[in-house]
Amino acid sequence: MDDLREILEDFLIEAFELVEQIDQDLVELENNPEDLELLNRIFRVAHTVKGSSSFLNFDVLTRLTHHMEDVLNKARRDELKITPEVMDVILESVDMMKALLQCIKENSSDTECGIEIDDICNRFDAISQGKPLEALEESTETAEEKAPEPQPEPEEEPDYANMSDEEVEAEIQRLLEEKMKEKEAKKAKKKSAEPKKQAQKPAAAAPVKQTSSPAKADASAPKKVASTPEQTIRVEVKRLDHLMNLIGELVLGKNRLLKIYDDVEERYEGEKFLEELNQVVSSVSLVTTDLQIAVMKTRMLPVSKVFNKFPRLVRDLSRELNKEIELVTIGEDTELDKSIVEEIGDPLVHMIRNSCDHGIESPDEREAKGKPRKGTVKLKAYNEGNQIVIAIEDDGAGMDPEFLKMKAIEKGVITEREADQLSDKEAYALIFRPGFSTAAKVTGVSGRGVGMDVVKTNIEKLNGIIDIDSELGKGSVFKLKIPLTLAIMQSLLVSVQEEFFAIPLASVLETVRISMDEIYTIEGKNVLRLRNEILSLVRLSDMFGVEQVFDGGEHVYVVIIGLAESKLGIIVDGLVGQEEIVIKSMGDYLQGIEGIAGATIRGDGGVTLITDVAAMMKLAKEINVDLTQQTSLETVQKTKPEDFHLLIVDDSKTDRTIMKKSLAPLGVKLTEATNGVEALNMIKTGDINFDAVLIDIEMPQMDGYTLAAEIRKYSRYKNLPLLAVTSRVSKADRLRGIESGMTEYITKPYSAEYLMETVRKNINLPVMEVA
Amino acid sequence: MDAQLSNVLQQQQKQKHNLLDNTQNQKGEEEIQLVGFIVGDEEYAIPILDIQEIIKPIEYTRIPSTPEYVLGAFNLRGNVIPLIDLRMKFSLPRKEADETTRYIVMRDGDNIAGFVIDKLTEAIRLKKSSIDPTPETLHKDQGMIYGIGKREKTIITILKVASLLQRDF
């Protein structure tokens, strides 16, 4: 039983592949009815499916393919002309074949789904008997009576049910041979037409003839086969996914290693082992990157997997719409991650429908405009950096921004006021709004105003961008820009107060640093004028409710994100850098939190959230905080010396006492810490808000440089004065102090006045009469 | 490996559920093992088989647009796990982590989360017969309570892990 199951699975895989191929071939055939090779190829598909399905006892499928085979066989022998009407029937039968195969896949039987093939079989019969199709309705009855098989050259199909074991063996052998021959025939295609015909005919003819002729025909073929054996194996997708997950872990490990190396490098500058460590780290990181790319590649599929469907689609559409449309595909070899290939099919179908229906004009209209009667839709795929671009170009009517605006107002999608502010590009983007459709009449193809809306959502799901360009009367170009893979991505890390967020780099258009003065307010919305564009602005902290612990200052960073066709400026406090991140699920409990696409684990082992750009765009609309009138943090005005609080960090009690004595006249509060770790903990808890820290450099556990660097890691202490008080006087020491984030460098011994003055200056203590 | 592991876990779960369910019907002398802990002033317990592990507090990341009792998410050996403060979930004031604070990582099928508790007490063996169903008056507590365990001197609230892990926002 298991053997049968295995055969069945092989059959299904093969059949689906064949059917996919057949669609494209058939459309091509319509344009090139004389192409014998194409015909043969299509015939062979029908034949192969028939052979295998009869062996597996799928009677319905066998009957259908048998009828197909008949008609095709006649066409092959030039006894029948392939007209569009005939083609319609053939295509319909291919669809049925697909449906049957699907049915078999799901139920292991082709009768469960109740697919009726009588009608189509009759039509096939009519065609093969040369009757006009119009007369079919009446002739159906008669044709049925004439059945079974009034074909001129009936196929000798063995009766499997009554065969003995040996005969079954022989039959299997025969089927196998046929298959081999077909493969060989394909390989031998480049040869002259003569041996090809010979090679293929036996496949269709009775088994008896077969033994002799193929041997002759393929005499030279086997050598070729031997030199180029097929170097592929089928691998379960699950295994590849698992591999991808493991690589994800490895990438995280690598990031962590790099981070540790950075820390070590800082601490042990100039040590010999660093060089060695550096080599290891870089080679590990290099190999990891290569490995990641290699695994990603195994998951890549050519876009032709999707593109293959479209010639048929366009062909059907053009007949349905009474237009003449040619589809040109370029760059089918471009590869994309499997998961994306699966997702991208539907949006593309909608976009192509849109181009055919709304873009391309009717032949007469085109002629009147001086264009060729036949319209062209170009489907292009190519790589651009870390993205793949799929462009759908048509040479149709193009879009009229004014008309779109008018329609949108009419349908209540936007208000008149909004319409006035829209640029042409934004007007084009209106077609992606739900409830918008410009088709004067609803056709079976489009005009219901659902399709394009779905396109946008699907592309956004893939973190993609849609770019539209159009010229009235000349045509339109839709560009879908999609990241190559979903699991591992490049991100821009930004900081907001003390939190970090990762923004998918694919959605980041640019970053700018602006001063608060450059923010304008239009109708209660904050906007930024960037070159010739007006961008709405929103603070990331408002969007994600980040606690405001310190004031950003006069300058802010703006990350401009773009998604599909819209743009938004997001204000953050700092740009941390670009990092490769692995997307981790946050589990059921935290699924679907607005604005958050997932989480990742960073080099330091912490969790960082990944923003969901599409949701951010939505969230931004709901936020109404006027940035220009923000109430700055309520800082208690400190006037009296007692309001100020200093921290003294020194391991020597004497030194601490000297400092305390020197600073006593100022009247400020003083707290002591005996080493870096203790000081850092006091600062971290934030129980006391220190106004300045005096730091000794030489200390056990954590030295002053490290302490300063650690303190500076907290964005709220970015501006906290850190004063180094040390006996290290060399220039290199001073330099290192500045590097680690010290504000001042005071060398011992110092005079009490000097220390007081420096502290006073740094904490802005008002000068008072010192007693 | 993972599949095997989860298989075993599932079986354990099943057994445990069976055990728990049986109590309602027959007062068998079977025992269940619980881990006791303190949140606020009260002692609670959960079945030991629902616990994946217990760890000391580590750093976590805040997650926006969640209720206050969801503190955030933390990294548990490469997995991102939500962290829930049981004090806050029980409407008690928040408390800074101290020496005895622990995270209990609980699992119910694929659903997993860490819960902050004030202090662990002990592992408890209770006879099925000494667990009473939740008193009627407490039913409104979103069914978080599985039952009340009677011990020699005290009673202990046994929590239902499945409903603790139920997202209610």
pLDDT per residue as tens digits for the range B28-52 = 568 889 999 998 888 899 999 999 9
Looking at the fold, whether A104 and A135 belong to one and the same domain comes out as: yes
Q: Cβ atoms within 10 A of the Cβ of A287, count?
A: 12
Looking at the fold, whether A617 and A683 belong to one and the same domain comes out as: no
* Widest CA span in chain B: 47
Q: How far is A547 from chain B (nearest CA, A)?
A: 10
Looking at the fold, whether A132 and A215 belong to one and the same domain comes out as: yes
Q: Does a structural domain hold residue A752?
A: yes
* Widest CA span in chain A: 125
Q: Does a structural domain hold residue A635?
A: no
Average pLDDT for residues A273-301, to the nearest whole number?
Answer: 86
Question: Considering only alpha carbons, which residue of chain A is nearest residue B71?
Answer: A590
A87: pLDDT strictly greater than 70: yes
A544–B contact, CB cutoff 8 A: yes
Q: Given the residues A30, A40, A67, A69, select the one marked as catalytic.
A: A69
**Nearest by Cα to A601 from A488, A684, A462:** A488
Interface contact B111-A606, CB threshold 8 A:
no
The CATH number for A608's domain is 2.40.50.180
Looking at the fold, whether A20 and A37 belong to one and the same domain comes out as: yes
Looking at the fold, whether A293 and A176 belong to one and the same domain comes out as: no
pLDDT digits (tens, 9 = 90+) for A43-65: 777 777 777 777 777 888 888 88
- Angle ∠(A487,A490,A495) on CA atoms, nearest 5: 115
Domain B2-164 belongs to what architecture? Answer: Beta Barrel (2.40)
Contact criterion met (CB below 8 Å) for A544 and A595: yes
A266: pLDDT strictly greater than 70: yes
A238–B contact, CB cutoff 8 A: no
Q: Which helix (H) or strand (E) holds A503?
A: strand A499-504
Minimum mean pLDDT range among A69-78, A295-304, A343-352: A69-78
A346: pLDDT strictly greater than 50: yes
A341: pLDDT strictly greater than 80: yes
Contact criterion met (CB below 8 Å) for A595 and A651: no
Q: Does a structural domain hold residue A629?
A: no
Contact criterion met (CB below 8 Å) for A573 and A546: no
What Å distances lie between residue A502 and A244, A462, A495, A602, A629, CA to CA? 21, 16, 9, 10, 28
Q: Cβ atoms within 10 A of the Cβ of A127, count?
A: 24
Provide the pLDDT confidence category of residue A333 given band limits of 50, 70 and 90: confident
A66: pLDDT strictly greater than 60: yes
- Using the 3D structure, point to which of A445, A461, A483 is the last residue of a domain: A483
- Using the 3D structure, point to which of A247, A273, A298 is the last residue of a domain: A298
Q: Given the residues A73, A354, A458, A526, select the one marked as catalytic.
A: A354
**Nearest by Cα to A11 from A202, A175, A232, A205:** A175
Residue A250 belongs to what domain range?
A: 237-298
Q: Does a structural domain hold residue A631?
A: no
Looking at the fold, whether A43 and A183 belong to one and the same domain comes out as: yes
Provide the pLDDT confidence category of residue B103 given band limits of 50, 70 and 90: very high
A770: pLDDT strictly greater than 50: no
pTM for the complete prediction? 0.52
Looking at the fold, whether A13 and A99 belong to one and the same domain comes out as: yes
Q: Does a structural domain hold residue A219?
A: yes
Provide the pLDDT confidence category of residue A108 given band limits of 50, 70 and 90: confident
Q: What is the pLDDT of residue B17?
A: 64
Amino acid residing at B101:
T
A198: pLDDT strictly greater than 50: no
Q: Indicate which of A250, A607, A622 best probes the interface with B, i.e. most B CBs within 10 Å of its own CB.
A: A607
Q: What is the pLDDT of residue A629?
A: 58
- Using the 3D structure, point to which of A483, A512, A537 is the last residue of a domain: A483
The CATH number for A724's domain is 3.40.50.2300
Interface contact A546-B72, CB threshold 8 A:
no
Give chain A's domain count. 5
Looking at the fold, whether A374 and A439 belong to one and the same domain comes out as: yes
Rounded Cα distance, A497 and A531, in Å = 28
Looking at the fold, whether A363 and A455 belong to one and the same domain comes out as: yes
Looking at the fold, whether A454 and A415 belong to one and the same domain comes out as: yes
Q: Cα(first)–Cα(last) distance of chain A, in Å? A: 104
Query: In sequence order, what E strands does A87-148 have?
Result: none
Q: What is the pLDDT of residue A445?
A: 47
In sign, the C-alpha dihedral spanning A734, A736, A739, A742 is negative
Average pLDDT, chain A: 76
Q: Does a structural domain hold residue A769?
A: no
Interface contact B113-A587, CB threshold 8 A:
yes
Average pLDDT for residues A461-484, to the nearest whole number?
Answer: 83
Q: Does a structural domain hold residue A768?
A: no
Average pLDDT for residues A96-125, to the nearest whole number?
Answer: 77
Q: Does a structural domain hold residue A513?
A: yes
The minimal CB distance from B63 to the residues A252, A588, A593 is found for A593
Rounded Cα distance, A654 and A84, in Å = 102
Phi and psi at A581, nearest 5°, equal: -125, 155
Looking at the fold, whether A20 and A53 belong to one and the same domain comes out as: yes
Contact criterion met (CB below 8 Å) for A127 and A86: yes
A136: pLDDT strictly greater than 60: no
Rounded Cα distance, A511 and A244, in Å = 31
What Å distances lie between residue A482 and A384, A458, A486, A696, B102, CA to CA? 10, 11, 10, 53, 44
Count, in order, helices (H) and strands (E) of chain A. Answer: 27, 23
Average pLDDT for residues A77-91, to the nearest whole number?
Answer: 77
- Angle ∠(A641,A642,A644) on CA atoms, nearest 5: 75
The CATH number for A180's domain is 1.20.120.160
The minimal CB distance from B73 to the residues A545, A586, A595 is found for A586
Do β-strands A475-483 and A488-496 pair in parallel, antiparallel, or remain unpaired? unpaired
Looking at the fold, whether A456 and A308 belong to one and the same domain comes out as: yes
Query: Which DSSP string do the residues of A60-88 spell out, in sequence order?
Result: HHHHHHHHHHHHHHHHHTTSS---HHHHH
